[in-house]
Amino acid sequence: MPRTLYDKLWDAHLVEDRADGSALIYIDRHIVHEVTSPQAFAGLRAAGRTPWRTDTTLATPDHNVSTLPAERRGGYAALPDAQSRIQLEALDANCGEFNLPEYRLDDPRQGIVHIIGPESGAVLPGMTVVCGDSHTSTNGALGCYACGIGTSEVEHVLATQTLVAKKMRNMRVQVDGQLGPGVSPKDLILAIIGKIGTAGGTGHAIEFSGPVLREMSMEGRMTVCNMAIEAGARVGLVAVDQTTIDYVEGRDHAPRGDDWQRAATYWRTLYSDPDAHFDRTVALQGEEIAPHVSWGTSPEMVLPISGRVPAVESGRDATERNSIAAALDYMGLQAGTPLTEIPIDRVFIGSCTNARIEDLRAAAAVVAGRKKAASVRQALVVPGSGRVKQQAEAEGLDQVFLDAGFEWREPGCSMCLAMNADRLAAGERCASTSNRNFEGRQGAGGRTHLASPQMAAAAGIAGHLVDVRPMLAAC
Amino acid sequence: MQPFTRHRGLVGPLDRANVDTDLITPKQYLKSIERSGFGRYLFDPLRYLDEGWLDKPENERRPNPDFALNQPRYRGCSVLLTRANFGCGSSREHAPWALADYGFRALIAPSYADIFYNNCCKNGLLPVVQPEAVVERLFAETLANPGYELTIDLEQQHIETPAGERLAFHIDAFRKGCLLAGLDEIGLTLQSAAAIKAYEQQRAAAEPWVFGVLDRARL
């Protein structure tokens, strides 16, 4: 029987089916960070349990870390926030106690969990990957079954190397044609979420396919899979092809020699069979997708940059009209305002969605030779990992940003969720490459406009949301 | 985990769709390394007018009088009635921890985000799904009748209204079993230890590159 990629990964990791309809799925990689793990380790300790294996887990701190170079150089002692310090020290202590591999805060390989997995080769095609963070779907770009889990499940995976799961339905998002110049993978995923809604993928594993995905780089595919969760799907996937294999080859923890040949041969089978059944298919045409920005407080509240802030009356039912009204109120926007007339106070370029080297290159290309608008209070560039930072510095990107008046920081989640000091003040408006524009996400009262790295950079130069494409033409 | 069998409780309404986990438990509270005590921070941005932080004294907080659950008539509510896609956003289990710690035992909504739904079931918190029209009617009845209570019977899989009407709901057998028994899922899974080990051996032979690569001592 023809199978989807998700079906194949499910079958390959099925330990046992249970009478009640649930299944035990084996987990190949477990990525751990400081925020959703302390209670899981406490649970292990309380029950007198130890990890099932110690060679399948990789830990690193990211959510709660300072991105200020001075605070990073000073180690934990230099962190002004005692609660953050306790949480970071707890991760180190727990990994030490349970003998788990960790890229510690001062390790050049430290970074955002979903960036360091693929980057280090710890995450390889065909694996099951979990992490106590919903954006674990990012890893699906490598042809992995990757999903976010809660802390109880973190404890369960540590203790048993398995997850109790129920098989999801299959959904395909097919993107034909090609993306236009200045249109990025971020614009594609924002357009997809705008089309199917934030609950559109609930209960499904979404496979992204079609010529646009085939032509897309691995980092672009990671951006797309990253936001599968904003479309409601725990799992996002892209089939393995030569681009995947080339990306993996030579990475720290990737196989070598004979194992490499065997692995690559297996990985090449990781695609959906031609006649595989999808419960739902959605199609988009690449040429029709313009740069997108969000205007509201949910990732489905997005529009092409040529659009205008919608009116409450455009809601299809009372619930949606209430949501639009609440969003306009929170965002301080008037219906009918052209998106390009929305001024911004800050720019954030970073996060597990858009802090890889290609993202920084794309933003730097817009910024080069230009200056941050005087009205923009701060433009933060936060690389996704120590290695991304090193690479960017080797290419001189840090200097491009600094010359334009942008700030160059140390790796971490930063203003994506504002657990550290990088946050918006109430009422401030930010063009952000992150993944969520929820109320208060980037700081209490802060207003987020989701955008691609190019578009966020362009907004920082213009001082307002703007279509980056004419600026690129002028480069 | 506290077992859930049958619960009768006061209904508290939260009339808003797409309530995300940042609204349920905002990020500043995720710095706690504890599992309890999150109830006082539940719905913090909606519930209070001031910005809160971990361990901010309660007498410094300014409750938002417009937030329904702050009204005296809903004090002690243990059944949350809300709208579609509740719990969307992050995987933080601090969201169901906060709901349970506040005193909720069950939720009623047209739909939930997947990870959140799962997290509720791991914490003795029963997320009940009802059609939009039923939820709409329950909102009307809750608002019209102070002291409005519902009984939720997991064994029978129905909600019972004060008028004696029974509204059936679906839940999968595994989650139902765990909730009814208040089961230690890890203990249950470890009963399959032999099957896990056998699977591992087969995988290690077929895909040796998956194992033994990550090592704390020589990372």
Q: Determine the pLDDT at residue B150.
A: 98
The pLDDT of B86-102, averaged and rounded, is 97
Q: List the structure tokens of A253.
A: 């923890």
Q: Show the tokens assigned to A105.
A: 């805060």
Nearest CB among A81, A122, A203 relative to B214 is that of A122
pLDDT of res. B2: 87
Contacts of B47 (CB under 8 A, 6+ apart): B63, B64, B67, B69, B70
Task: Please tell me what DSSP assigns to residue B51.
Answer: P
Residue B149, SS3 per DSSP: strand
A102 and B196: CB-CB below 8 Å? Answer: no
Q: What number of other Cβ atoms are within 10 A of residue A268's Cβ? A: 16
> Cβ(B110)–Cβ(A221) under 8 Å?
no
Nearest to A83 among B18, B54, B199 (CB): B54
What does the alpha-carbon distance between residue A289 and residue A186 come to, in Å, rounded to a whole number?
11
Number of Cβ pairs < 8 A linking chain A and chain B = 218
So what's the pLDDT on residue B183? 85
CB A305 within 8 A of CB A337: no
pLDDT of B77: 98
Percentage with pLDDT > 70 across chain B:
100
The reported pLDDT for the residue numbered B1 is 83
φ, ψ for residue A172, nearest 5 deg: -120, 135
CA B109, B114, B116, B119 torsion-angle sign: positive
Please tell me the distance in Å from A211's CA to the nearest CA on chain B.
29
Query: Contacts of residue A53 in chain B, CB cutoff 8 Å?
Result: 211
Mutate to test the interface with A, among B27, B101, B118 (most CBs of A within 10 A): B27
C-alpha A121, offset from chain centre:
17
Matching residue, tokens 């080769």: A121
Q: Which of A381, A379, A448, A371 has its CA nearest to residue A417?
A: A448
Q: Which one, of A396, A307, A411, lies nearest residue A352 by Cα?
A: A411
Residue of A nearest to B193 (CA): A160
**Would the CB atoms of A95 and B216 count as touching at under 8 Å?**
yes
Beta strands A447-450 and B126-129, pairing class: unpaired
Residue B125 confidence (pLDDT) above 80: yes
Those residues of chain A that have pLDDT short of 70 are 474-475
Q: Is B85 helix (H, G, I), strand (E, B) or coil?
A: coil
Nearest to A54 by CA among B216, B193, B84: B216
Cα–chain center distance at A8: 24
Q: How far is C-alpha A100 from the geometric centre of its chain's CA atoms?
A: 24
User: Hey, which residues does B48 pair with through a beta bridge?
Assistant: B63
Which has the closest alpha carbon to B36: B121, B115, B100, B126? B100
Please name which of A32, A293, A301 lies closest in space to residue A183, comparing C-alpha atoms: A293
Secondary structure (3-state) at B129? strand
Condensed to tens digits (0 to 9), the pLDDT of residues A195-247 reads: 999 999 999 999 999 999 999 999 999 999 999 999 999 999 999 999 999 99
DSSP 3-state assignment of B41?
helix
Of residues A324, A303, A301, the one with CA closest to residue A312 = A324
Q: Give, in order, the Cα–Cα distances in Å from A277 to each of A5, A71, A207, B38.
A: 11, 52, 12, 43
**Minimal C-alpha gap between A39 and chain B (Å):** 6
Place of tokens 């907080």: B61
Token digits for A44? 């292990």
CA dist list (Å): A231 to A130, A144, A167, B89: 18, 18, 18, 10
- Please give the domain boundaries of chain B with CATH numbers for all domains: 6-183 (3.20.19.10), 184-219 (no CATH)
What's B70's DSSP letter? G
Contact B89 A436 (CB under 8 A): yes
DSSP H/E element including B116: helix B114-121
Q: Cα-flanking dihedrals φ and ψ of residue A130, to 5°?
A: -130, 160
Q: 3-class secondary structure for chain A?
A: CCCCHHHHHHHHHEEEECCCCCEEEECCEEEECCCCCHHHHHHHHHHCCCCCCCCCEEECCCCCCCCCHHHHHCCHHHCCCHHHHHHHHHHHHHHHHCCCCECCCCCCCCECHHHHHHHHCCCCCCCEEEECCHHHHHHHHHCCEEEECCHHHHHHHHHHCEEEECCCEEEEEEEECCCCCCCCHHHHHHHHHHHHCCCCCCCEEEEEECHHHHHCCHHHHHHHHHCCHHHCCCEEECCCCHHHHHHHCCCCCCCCHHHHHHHHHHHCCCCCCCCCCCCEEEEEEHHHCCCEEECCCCCCCEEECCCECCCHHHCCCHHHHHHHHHHHHHHCCCCCCEHHHCECCEEEECCCCCCCHHHHHHHHHHHCCCCCCCCCCEEEECCCEHHHHHHHHHCCHHHHHHHCCCEECCCCCHHHCCCCCCCCCCCCEEEECCCCCCCCCCCCCCEEEECCHHHHHHHHHHCECCCCHHHHHCC
Give B-chain residues touching A254 at CB under 8 angstroms.
209
For residue B35, the tally of other CB atoms under 10 A from its CB is 18
Minimal CA separation from B7 to chain A, in Å: 24
Residues 357..396 of A with a Cβ closer than 8 Å to B: which? none
**B62: burial class by Cβ within 10 Å (0-12, 13-18, 19+)?**
exposed
CA-based max dimension of chain B = 67
**Among A191, A178, A221, CA closest to A356:** A221
Task: Round to whole Å and give the CA distance between A102 and A57.
Answer: 8
- The Cα–Cα gap between B90 and B195 comes to 32
pLDDT in tens, B22-74: 999 999 999 999 999 999 999 999 999 999 999 999 999 999 999 999 999 99
Among A295, A376, A290, A289, CA closest to A338? A295
Let me know if B165 is exposed, middle or buried by CB neighbors in 10 A (0-12, 13-18, 19+): exposed
Give the bridge partners for A209, in sequence order: A174
pLDDT at A475: 57
Question: Is the ipTM here above 0.85?
Answer: yes
User: Considering CB atoms only, which of B31, B45, B83 is closest to A64?
Assistant: B31
Summary mean pLDDT of chain B: 96
CB contact under 8 A, B195 and A15: yes
Tell me which H or E stretch contains B174: helix B173-181
Question: According to the model, what pLDDT value does residue A19 have?
Answer: 85
H or E element: which one contains B152? strand B149-153
Please give the structure tokens belonging to residue A404. 């334009």
Question: Which H or E element spans position B119?
Answer: helix B114-121
Q: What is the pLDDT of residue B205?
A: 97
Residue of A nearest to B28 (CA): A419
> What is residue B57's three-state secondary structure?
coil
